Amino acid sequence: MRHTKVKDLLNSTTTLQEVNAKGWVRTFRNNQFIALNDGSTINNIQCVVDFENTPDETLKRITTGAAISVIGTLIESKGAGQKYEIQVNKLEILGDSDAEKFPIQPKNKPSLDFLRENAHLRVRTNMFGAIMRVRSVLSFAVHNYFQQKGFVYVNTPIITGSDAEGAGEMFKVTALPFDNTPRTEDGKVNYKEDFFEKETNLTVSGQLEGETYAMALGQIYTFGPTFRAENSNTSRHLAEFWMIEPEVAFNNLDDNMDLAEDFIQYVIKYALDNCQDDLKFLEGRLLDEEKSKPQAERSEMALLEKLNFVLENNFKRVSYTEAIDILRDSTPNKKKKFQYIINEWGADLQSEHERYLVEKHFKCPVILFDYPANIKAFYMRLNDNTESGRETVRAMDILFPGIGEIVGGSEREERYDVLIEKMKALEIDEEELSWYLDTRRFGSATHAGFGLGFERLVLFVTGMTNIRDVIPFPRTPGNAEF
């Protein structure tokens, strides 16, 4: 007899048939009621054991975390809270779980910190089961969105010789020994003797390679892991995170904003339509968590309301210059409540400023665009009407409530001469990026793209507050367990 998933049992249209369920025991009450979960849904199926006819030896082994198989009759439940239950006829312990040792005990409500240290077991909780199912559905929605629109999925390399963002936050990849490292005459590491015969690192972004594909296939997207060795120990940064990077030939910045907004709304709607039980549970979790916070720090909207709000309202599009004016005149700036006071045009925005704009001023997702050239990456297109001394580029960042920056993107500098000049000014190796420059040498055209940090999206949709809780095995400074 094949076993049936708990989700299908709970959605069953007939009763009284004999069924087999397999899963892990969540709780066992009164020597009689097992709450069984198999990960297919947040909901458990109740299995009622005939304890009088079950040996004590077996009953003792029905402990939280144990894997079991039950065969029994699916019946309508008399108890409140569930439609169906299984009247157990045969119970088999597949794998014991020592009640004294199993770390995830529902009764003592383990802290998120404790669960992070037990990332291999935390997925056995309702919370992490829900988060990881939502994460999976969201990644399917990403592919669905782009595939339906005819975008080509491109796998850009993970090991690369280039620094796409020019920010120097890369993890080196080398097969050289650390002792007796081969050196050049001037004492530098001789990468000619390394595996790739050059210096290589883990990619910080697939954009540059993606651009070359967009300039042939028209519309492409990447969806893969990216790595940043920035030492930001925050609740929004990971050293290894997943990024989605669409790139579209002939799109300008406005098209790029339209695409990003439509895409984000689509994937959120997809999650709302396909993860109802999990999102309802996560909404309850958030309400619970916020009970312990002062009123002023609680969210104004419950999770589902917040997600629907994003679907129903256009993102507010605001230029960097307008944003600086708003920030300069804001109460926290005047009262010196910001850690970084905004005095003049050109200042880089910190997350405190981004969150003020989104959460206090506009109270909706915001797309900031036309940033000062010198705080953005080399590949962004210089604005035509730019004033000298106030050069701006066709960049955009999308800011979300509770998250800050969720998307960064731009129209690209398609003019060879302008791009070369910019690279010279920033001392970016033209030789190393010669292949990239070929897109501008041969058949260059306007194009644009963006990167969405997948974990930041999952954070937003699940209402979690720490990015370490929305990726199975987080990598952060000082932590690479598992």
* Interface residue list for ligand 4AD (CB under 6 A): 164-165, 205, 207, 228, 230, 237-238, 241, 243, 245, 405-410, 449-451, 453, 455-456
* Binder of residue 165, out of Mg ion, ligand 4AD, none (CB less than 5 to 8 A by kind): ligand 4AD
Residue closer to ligand 4AD by CB (options 24, 450) is 450
> CA-CA distance, 432 to 436, in Å (whole number)?
9
The residue range among 49-57, 154-162, 285-293, 404-412 that interacts with Mg ion, by the rule CB under 5 A, is 404-412
Q: Kindly state the tokens that stand for 454.
A: 């997948």
CB of 442 to ligand 4AD, least distance (A): 21
Residue with the two structure tokens 């069984």: 36
Q: Which residues of 314-335 are buried (b: 16+ CB within 10 A; e: fewer)?
A: ebbebebeebbebbeebebbee
H-helix segments, 61-196: 112-117, 119-122, 126-148
Residue closer to ligand 4AD by CB (options 4, 222) is 222
* Binder of residue 353, out of ligand 4AD, Mg ion, none (CB less than 5 to 8 A by kind): none
CB of 289 to ligand 4AD, least distance (A): 22
CB of 267 to ligand 4AD, least distance (A): 14
Q: How many residues bind Mg ion (CB under 5 A)?
A: 1
CB of 376 to Mg ion, least distance (A): 8
> Residue type for 68, please?
I
Per CB under 5 A, 372 contacts Mg ion: no
> CA-CA distance, 312 to 452, in Å (whole number)?
20
Residue closer to ligand 4AD by CB (options 36, 248) is 248
Residue closer to ligand 4AD by CB (options 298, 475) is 475
The residue range among 212-220, 241-249, 373-381, 406-414 that interacts with Mg ion, by the rule CB under 5 A, is 406-414
Q: Kindly state the tokens that stand for 87.
A: 């009247």
The residue range among 24-32, 177-185, 400-408, 438-446 that interacts with Mg ion, by the rule CB under 5 A, is 400-408
> Residue type for 234, please?
T
Residue closer to ligand 4AD by CB (options 201, 207) is 207
**Binding marks (x or -) toward Mg ion, 171..210, rule CB under 5 A?**
----------------------------------------
Residue with the two structure tokens 């963002």: 165
Residues 6+ apart with CB under 8 A from 59: 31, 49, 51
CB of 161 to ligand 4AD, least distance (A): 16
The residue range among 63-71, 245-253, 357-365, 403-411 that interacts with Mg ion, by the rule CB under 5 A, is 403-411
The answer to whether residues 244 and 225 touch, using CB atoms and an 8 Å cutoff, is no
Residue 468: phi and psi, rounded to 5, are -65, -15
Residues 6+ apart with CB under 8 A from 338: 332, 350, 352, 353, 356
> CA-CA distance, 391 to 117, in Å (whole number)?
47
Q: Where are the beta strands (DSSP E) in 219-282?
A: 219-227, 240-249
Q: Kindly state the tokens that stand for 378.
A: 């080399």
Residue closer to Mg ion by CB (options 137, 327) is 327
Residue with the two structure tokens 């209402």: 463
Per CB under 5 A, 408 contacts Mg ion: yes
* Binder of residue 453, out of ligand 4AD, Mg ion, none (CB less than 5 to 8 A by kind): ligand 4AD
Return residues touching Mg ion (CB under 5 A).
408
